[in-house]
A and B are shown apart, each in its own frame.
Chain A
């Protein structure tokens, strides 16, 4: 039976905790049947609630030894259903039950927490995990769902091993012969990192300049263009001279990283973009976010035309714009009447977040300690509630919070076959390499028929952990601690490394709705620079912290090189 146990360790590339010897024995002797037998006792309290174990819906579980029903930890033996309390080291009737001479050889070590529906080994005194048990619990949660679970589908994962590449002699000669090294002396002239070049304002084009500056220093995008992955000469000789935003990007990257510090005029690009987005072609002020979306779209569209292959946008393998920026959002809509959940996945290139409303008014008076640790995302939330300052984490929290759709927004439930009140929850299924957060500072009130700008300060961290907003985390808080990969959710989203992000660009807006100015702050080699159209200057990070962020660009930490001084020269 060891094969069964080994099978447990690594499924779908996810490493599961090794079962304790008692659980392994239990499984070896009884198989998974007891877990499935428990299915009838699993009760999930009204839609969205937790799973609990009750033989009868109204049962009040009490310890058979001491008769106490108010103990915090009550377990039911998996072998004989004896209910015992567990409060070590004072008393543990559960451990006593497992060790009693009559039981000791009959697998009474494994018990289930009646209130949490989680497995526990009374001998080890530790939580244990079993795939079949967790599958049974998740099934109880989703029972009656029209979509049956298909765990088999999840197995098809392919992962390619990383192979380091060192150029051989021939490749090295090719590189040396075809490369024109950037003048190394240019960096010493003004001590600015390479690639920092002012952009001339071509007539209210600060919305474009601000976004372009951020894009020039988006690590994966920069690496793509600087490594000649989209060569404009090749593209044009192949496809003829025609509208191609990626070609213009390539030209701009060459110009910006050429070492020349005199402000550059992105006129050619502006013209191309005007052709792409004719409705926005004017010398009027535009929204930076709108421009960002429109230009990513432009790069994408062009590639789409080239390949004529339908691509799944969320998978990000269609074009460089989506490879860098696109993630997948998961949205669950749960019927409040029957608990049926319908899940949809949508690709996205950024996260548009609402500013928290009525900050300050809901201040909590709890005796909370304000901690200022940098990486505790929750600490910030806490402090936000205390000082009434909106934070990016607070916004993300609102974004992923279950939201009860009102009676005016009823949703058609596939199971009830009628419109029902429902609960909606968003989460992030797949994180993009670069997360762009767009703060909805421009409010449109349809009631008053007017728009206004919200000037409220928003705190944003330099390092951000996205783990709490991932579907896997959201589902874990919904289903409890399980090792079952839920409902089509791939376990690789659990990867700790890829959920950590570093801030590298902030686009700020000052002024009013109809007239204002965009300025970008860039973080290069852990130093901040202000890019105000043609002017570049070094600034203190406190200036950035105090700025009114409109778009924040974060890159996955593993792609951010804090220490790399000359990303290009090296």
Chain B
């Protein structure tokens, strides 16, 4: 666990996860990795981003963040504070239609990936 001073400037190198190798990944993890590797996750993210902008969700969140920042004073707010305060509201206000569309996309991806 001892860190050498010289290690500070070295470029990041891959860490080898010894513990992880002999553990069975969960189904959720497998799906997640499949999504990432195929690039589908990136496409889903892009789609989600687009939908949330279209339906006004992003502007709503922006307004909430602004209101919170104004209330607390702009120098007393951190990103963590904002994430903590806004996340529950944000999750709750994602339109069902957006969730349904995303779910449908993931389903069809899994369908095509397994066959």
Which of A60, A67, A127, A376 contacts B33 (CB under 8 A)?
A60
Q: How far is the CB of B11 from chain A (nearest CB, A)?
A: 4
Interfacial chain A residues near B97, Cβ < 8 Å: 365-367
- Contact of B80 with A126 in the complex, beta carbons under 8 Å: yes
Known contacts A102-B1, A125-B81; A69 and B55 CB within 8 A of each other: no
Q: Measured between alpha carbons, how far is A89 from B78 in the docked complex, in Å?
A: 13
Interfacial chain A residues near B95, Cβ < 8 Å: 366-368
Interfacial chain B residues near A124, Cβ < 8 Å: 78
Interfacial chain A residues near B1, Cβ < 8 Å: 102
**Cβ-based interface call for A38 (8 A):** yes
Residues A107-146 near B (CB distance < 8 A):
107, 120, 124-127
Tell me the count of chain B residues lying within 8 A, CB to CB, of chain A.
42
State which size class the interface on A falls in.
Answer: 35 or more
Q: How far is the CB of A16 from chain B (nearest CB, A)?
A: 14
Which of B8, B14, B37, B56 contacts A30 (CB under 8 A)?
B8
Which of A76, A88, A367 contacts B96 (CB under 8 A)?
A367
**Cβ-based interface call for B103 (8 A):** no
Q: How far is the CB of B43 from chain A (nearest CB, A)?
A: 10
Q: Measured between alpha carbons, how far is A445 from B89 in the docked complex, in Å?
A: 48
**Cβ-based interface call for B84 (8 A):** yes
Residues B93-115 near A (CB distance < 8 A):
95-98
Which of A55, A70, A79, A376 contacts B13 (CB under 8 A)?
A55
Q: Measured between alpha carbons, how far is A83 from B17 in the docked complex, in Å?
A: 11
Which of B2, B7, B15, B55 contacts A79 (CB under 8 A)?
B7
Residues B76-94 near A (CB distance < 8 A):
78-81, 83-84
Q: Give a binary string over A269-297; 1 marks a CB under 8 Å from any B CB, 0 the rest.
A: 00000000000000000000000000000
**Cβ-based interface call for A64 (8 A):** yes
Interfacial chain A residues near B15, Cβ < 8 Å: 64, 81-83
**Cβ-based interface call for B22 (8 A):** no
Interfacial chain B residues near A58, Cβ < 8 Å: 37
- Contact of A368 with B8 in the complex, beta carbons under 8 Å: no
**Cβ-based interface call for B67 (8 A):** no
- Contact of B12 with A70 in the complex, beta carbons under 8 Å: no
- Contact of A102 with B84 in the complex, beta carbons under 8 Å: no
Q: How far is the CB of B82 from chain A (nearest CB, A)?
A: 9
- Contact of A37 with B3 in the complex, beta carbons under 8 Å: no
- Contact of B80 with A88 in the complex, beta carbons under 8 Å: yes
- Contact of A125 with B80 in the complex, beta carbons under 8 Å: yes
Which of B2, B3, B11 contacts A41 (CB under 8 A)?
B11
- Contact of B32 with A70 in the complex, beta carbons under 8 Å: yes
- Contact of A107 with B12 in the complex, beta carbons under 8 Å: no
- Contact of A126 with B79 in the complex, beta carbons under 8 Å: yes
**Cβ-based interface call for B20 (8 A):** yes
- Contact of B3 with A103 in the complex, beta carbons under 8 Å: yes
- Contact of A120 with B84 in the complex, beta carbons under 8 Å: no
Q: Which residue of B lies closest to A105 (CB)?
A: B3
Q: Measured between alpha carbons, how far is A107 from B51 in the docked complex, in Å?
A: 39
Interfacial chain A residues near B63, Cβ < 8 Å: 376
- Contact of A376 with B36 in the complex, beta carbons under 8 Å: no
Residues A21-56 near B (CB distance < 8 A):
29-30, 33-34, 37-38, 40-41, 45, 49, 55-56
- Contact of B3 with A80 in the complex, beta carbons under 8 Å: yes
Which of B9, B19, B79 contacts A33 (CB under 8 A)?
B9
Interfacial chain A residues near B29, Cβ < 8 Å: 69-70
Q: How far is the CB of A538 from chain B (nearest CB, A)?
A: 36
Which of B3, B20, B83 contacts A102 (CB under 8 A)?
B3
> Among the listed stretches A234-242, A377-385, A552-560, which one makes contact with chain B, having 4 or more residues with CB under 8 Å of it?
A377-385
- Contact of A70 with B7 in the complex, beta carbons under 8 Å: no
- Contact of B8 with A106 in the complex, beta carbons under 8 Å: yes
Q: How far is the CB of A79 from chain B (nearest CB, A)?
A: 5
**Cβ-based interface call for A308 (8 A):** no
**Cβ-based interface call for A369 (8 A):** yes
Interfacial chain A residues near B20, Cβ < 8 Å: 62, 67
- Contact of A29 with B54 in the complex, beta carbons under 8 Å: no
Q: How far is the CB of A47 from chain B (nearest CB, A)?
A: 13
Q: How far is the CB of B5 from chain A (nearest CB, A)?
A: 8
Which of B3, B19, B59 contacts A106 (CB under 8 A)?
B3
Q: How far is the CB of B36 from chain A (nearest CB, A)?
A: 5
Q: How far is the CB of B48 from chain A (nearest CB, A)?
A: 12
Q: Which residue of B lies closest to A37 (CB)?
A: B11
Q: How far is the CB of B21 from chain A (nearest CB, A)?
A: 11
- Contact of B9 with A30 in the complex, beta carbons under 8 Å: yes
- Contact of A88 with B84 in the complex, beta carbons under 8 Å: yes
Q: Which residue of B lies closest to A17 (CB)?
A: B75
Q: Measured between alpha carbons, how far is A339 from B70 in the docked complex, in Å?
A: 39
Q: Give a binary string over A77-91; 1 marks a CB under 8 Å from any B CB, 0 the rest.
A: 001111100001100
**Cβ-based interface call for A233 (8 A):** no
**Cβ-based interface call for A59 (8 A):** yes
Q: Measured between alpha carbons, how far is A28 from B51 in the docked complex, in Å?
A: 43
Q: Which residue of A lies closest to B39 (CB)?
A: A45
Interfacial chain A residues near B33, Cβ < 8 Å: 60, 69
Interfacial chain A residues near B83, Cβ < 8 Å: 73, 88
Interfacial chain B residues near A82, Cβ < 8 Å: 15
Interfacial chain B residues near A30, Cβ < 8 Å: 8-9
Which of B7, B11, B54 contacts A364 (CB under 8 A)?
B54
Identify 13 residue pairs between A and B in the complex whose beta-carbon atoms are under 8 Å apart, listed by A's number.
A55-B13, A62-B17, A62-B20, A69-B36, A73-B83, A81-B11, A81-B13, A88-B83, A120-B79, A125-B81, A364-B54, A366-B55, A369-B60
What 4 A-B pairs are tightest by C-beta distance, nearest first?
Answer: A81-B12, A125-B80, A366-B55, A126-B78
A-B contact sample (11 more), CB < 8 A, given A34-B9, A80-B7 = A49-B42, A60-B32, A60-B37, A62-B20, A81-B12, A106-B3, A366-B97, A368-B55, A368-B95, A371-B56, A379-B56
Interface set of B (CB-CB < 8 Å, partner A)? 1-3, 5, 7-15, 17, 19-20, 23, 28-29, 32-33, 36-37, 42, 51, 54-56, 58-60, 63, 78-81, 83-84, 95-98
Interface set of A (CB-CB < 8 Å, partner B)? 29-30, 33-34, 37-38, 40-41, 45, 49, 55-56, 58-60, 62, 64, 67, 69-70, 73, 76, 79-83, 88-89, 102-103, 106-107, 120, 124-127, 364-369, 371, 376, 378-379, 382, 385
